[in-house]
Structure 1
Amino acid sequence: MHSVLDRALDCVVGALGKTTDTTGVTLHRSPDTGRARLADRAFDFNSAVPSGVRLEMLTDATELELDARLTVVLPLGMPSTGSAFDLVVDGELREPVVATEQSPIDPAFFDPATGSPEAGPAEPATVRFRIGPRAGERRVEIWLPVTPAVTLIDVRVPDGASVRPAPPSGPLWVHYGSSISQCSDADRPTATWPAAVARSAGRSLVNLGLGGQCQLDPFMARAVRDLPASAISLELGINVHNADSMRERAFVPAFHGFLDTIRDGHPSTPVLVISPIVCPAAEQRPGPTLVGPDGMVRTVDRPVELALGALTLARIRALLSEHVEQRRKDDDDRLQLMDGTTLFGPDDVADLPDGLHPNAAGYARMAERFLPLSFGGAGAFG
């Protein structure tokens, strides 16, 4: 076997940046400059979780090995089920390959006041993909995991074999959102709802769903603006509520500013705004949200006098509906709104184990519902 790491990095699809140090190469789903200026641990971690990031290559290799450091958020001492990789050969999805070697970090790592620990010790994982007997070049996709942050250390193929970038799998769909779009509870990389939709619709995906980080950051708007997208979707609102990061006065202009920036680069590209899916604890109560001892999401009580202008999910949906309609009246007829509760609503809460995040079955249902409403003949991108 010989290393093809540099060539494999040329085959990466779905990442916007990367950092290289003595431990390897970390692929990021955010621009390097914006991330550095923000300097936020939680943002950095979720940017390095490669949801939707994959290697798309043409290769005559019969097998491929990948060395990676997999860092997971897990209370130290808690067991993990491992990290799943997906292999697709000439369009055929194979069984997932699961790596169990992981480096845990405690959730307290993200609290700057705790002096929390770095990643716990673990050997890098070596993941082997059996592509099959050589029959000339084949299109091979390796979808990286959706739960850990991943640092690539090496990629190897048998002596005499080679890899080169494959052509795009279809027109580019760029999706921006929250953990509901990062989908760390999906049971495999191709089972996140954006990945499932993209594969069914014949689209190449860039998934900018970042857990906890969908805050209408201007540098993320510029990232969407600068990508050659043929379709754009924006799943908005839940993280603004979770963090209690904006009140109505700030949320409305931030929403318009985000869209204005995107329209600078995409004046006529279809854009679909998706309002929040159901979250029972947050429907009629403003944030912030915390996780209780039972593992369920709950809101924080606040004095009535501090609630003026605070955002509930019901209010966020109403504002998004009102201001999308305003922009449409201002001649942006390529902008549409999807009510998030049509993707995952009150009848689906049994698949909302923590009251906020769908489980694997919930994400599958979201994909089934989103596909005809977006890439179907009469859908937003049809």
Structure 2
Amino acid sequence: MRAVPLRGGPVELRGALDLEDTPAGVLPRRLPEWTKEQYQDPSVHGVTLMPSGVRLVFRTDARELEFEVLTSTGQLDTDPGPQPTGMLELLVDGAPAGRRQAPVGNVVRMAGPGAEQRMIPGEPGTVRFSGLPDGMKTVELWLPQQTPTELVALRADGEVLAPLPDGRRRWVHHGSSISHCVEADGPTGTWPVVAAALGGVEVINLSQAGNALLDPYVARTIRDLPADLISLKVGINIVSLAAFRLRTFGPAVHGFLDTIREGHPDTPLLVISPVSCPALEETPGPTAIAPDGKLAALGDPADVADGALSLAVVRAELSRIVAARRAHDPRLHYLDGRELLGPDETDDLADGLHPGAAAYRRMGDRFAAHAFADDGPFG
């Protein structure tokens, strides 16, 4: 086994827009370094380090590979152990070739949500993939979508070369936790990755659990990225956090789209409204977790008449905005999120908000059937 450099060598790191040097190795981030100074909420930094859609790509004739990583996972003081670290998944020439549980490394302990955190340092762990096919092949190692993962070392028992250009279109997607897909059964089970595989495109997933609040720095990031296709899933956290009212929501959507169009004036751009979420369909946020563990809306439905946002209002407003802009922007499209997960499927929302693993795969299938059809927005 010989070491392969993770920087400045043949390995491409796709899906990450920045690499932070750490004492252990390198830590992928899904937003550019310059965005750090534009947010204060630590949750933004945390979810940006969760490598949903991030993968190492290279060619090799090796039969055996070793990946050394240092994960950082959370643990409430009331939990019996650390939260699951997720899976490392290997694809060879696009086909599944093995999956391994990511080893537990650093553990972030806390008394409860929002409490002060205590880092318990851990050690890197190694995962091994053996019995790979003979000959030169393209290998992708997908990192766990829910766990910050420092890349410490890559070792191979054969030659490692840079990947060849594959000619696929690049799809940039931004959304909330329902696109970040922490609950998926692995990094290739997130609905954007499922859809990208079916559509024959390469996906860059800029989704951020607990966020996606029309942040201007995200719009500028998308504006400046190479992209052949763009999609935005907008609304769930805007309602659940009561982050906007109707007066401010519409202009913010227009501003976000205007910024993206500065860099991509003719790129197909699909705006997706929220999937079904019973608590927030007609009732505005903010939200809390009820004793039964499900999402509960704390707003007053009567306040909708004065400009509070429910999911029904958000969907109507997004549809109206896209329809109005299409008069001068015919490559702008709208998809009602309930086409991906509808009101008759809310049993798939264990906490009343987030789909489970099977539902995420179903969403990916449905998105691909819509978006990548010959007459679809990405056709």
TM-score category, normalised to shorter length = over 0.9
What TM-score do you get using the length of structure 2 for normalisation? 0.93
Q: Which residue of 2 aligns with 1:309?
A: 307
Using the TM superposition, give the Cα deviation of residue 163 of structure 1 relative to its aligned residue in structure 2, in angstroms: 3.5
Contact 1:249 1:309 in 2 (8 A): yes
Give 2:73's aligned amino acid. Answer: V
Structure-1 separation of matches of 2:341 and 2:84: 26
- Relative to structure 1, the CA distance from residue 140 to residue 8 in structure 2 (aligned partners, 3 Å threshold; closer, same or farther) is farther
What secondary structure is seen at the aligned counterpart in 2 of 1:52?
A: coil
1:362 matches 2:359: yes
Q: Which residue of 1 aligns with 2:117?
A: 117
Percent identity, aligned pairs only, is: 42
Of the structure 1 ranges 307-316 and 97-106, higher mean CA displacement relative to structure 2 is found in: 97-106
Taking the TM superposition and a 5 Å limit, the aligned residue runs for 1:64-143 are: 64-76=65-77, 77-79=79-81, 80-106=83-109, 111=114, 114=115, 116-130=116-130, 132=132, 134-135=134-135, 137-143=136-142
1:161 to 159, 162, 165: 159
1:336 matches 2:333: yes
- Relative to structure 1, the CA distance from residue 40 to residue 86 in structure 2 (aligned partners, 3 Å threshold; closer, same or farther) is same
Using the TM superposition, give the Cα deviation of residue 271 of structure 1 relative to its aligned residue in structure 2, in angstroms: 0.5
**What count of residue pairs does the alignment treat as equivalent?**
376
1:219-266 per-residue CA deviation (whole Å, 9 max, x = no partner) reads 111111112211111000011112211111221111001100111111
Gaps of 5+ in 1: none
Structure-2 separation of matches of 1:110 and 1:25: 28
Structure-1 separation of matches of 2:98 and 2:317: 43
What TM-score do you get using the length of structure 1 for normalisation? 0.92
1:147 matches 2:146: yes
Structure-2 separation of matches of 1:357 and 1:257: 28
Give 2:362's aligned amino acid. Answer: R
Q: Which residue of 2 aligns with 1:319?
A: 317
What's the RMSD between the two structures over aligned residues? Answer: 2.1
What secondary structure is seen at the aligned counterpart in 1 of 2:184?
A: coil
- Relative to structure 1, the CA distance from residue 121 to residue 109 in structure 2 (aligned partners, 3 Å threshold; closer, same or farther) is farther
What secondary structure is seen at the aligned counterpart in 1 of 2:316?
A: helix
What secondary structure is seen at the aligned counterpart in 2 of 1:88?
A: strand
What secondary structure is seen at the aligned counterpart in 1 of 2:87?
A: strand
1:284-320 per-residue CA deviation (whole Å, 9 max, x = no partner) reads 1111112223221111246967983221111100110
Using the TM superposition, give the Cα deviation of residue 32 of structure 1 relative to its aligned residue in structure 2, in angstroms: 1.2
What secondary structure is seen at the aligned counterpart in 2 of 1:373?
A: helix
Gaps of 5+ in 2: none
Contact 2:25 2:151 in 1 (8 A): yes
Structure-2 separation of matches of 1:189 and 1:283: 29
Structure-1 separation of matches of 2:210 and 2:95: 33
Structure-2 separation of matches of 1:133 and 1:380: 37
Contact 2:71 2:103 in 1 (8 A): no
Taking the TM superposition and a 5 Å limit, the aligned residue runs for 1:283-298 are: 283-298=281-296
Of the structure 1 ranges 235-244 and 335-344, higher mean CA displacement relative to structure 2 is found in: 235-244
Contact 1:174 1:224 in 2 (8 A): yes
Structure-2 separation of matches of 1:301 and 1:258: 26
What secondary structure is seen at the aligned counterpart in 1 of 2:120?
A: coil
Contact 1:109 1:117 in 2 (8 A): no
Structure-2 separation of matches of 1:168 and 1:107: 44
- Relative to structure 1, the CA distance from residue 358 to residue 9 in structure 2 (aligned partners, 3 Å threshold; closer, same or farther) is farther
Structure-1 separation of matches of 2:302 and 2:10: 53
Structure-2 separation of matches of 1:356 and 1:282: 9
Q: Which residue of 2 aligns with 1:199?
A: 197
What secondary structure is seen at the aligned counterpart in 1 of 2:91?
A: strand
Structure-1 separation of matches of 2:125 and 2:60: 23
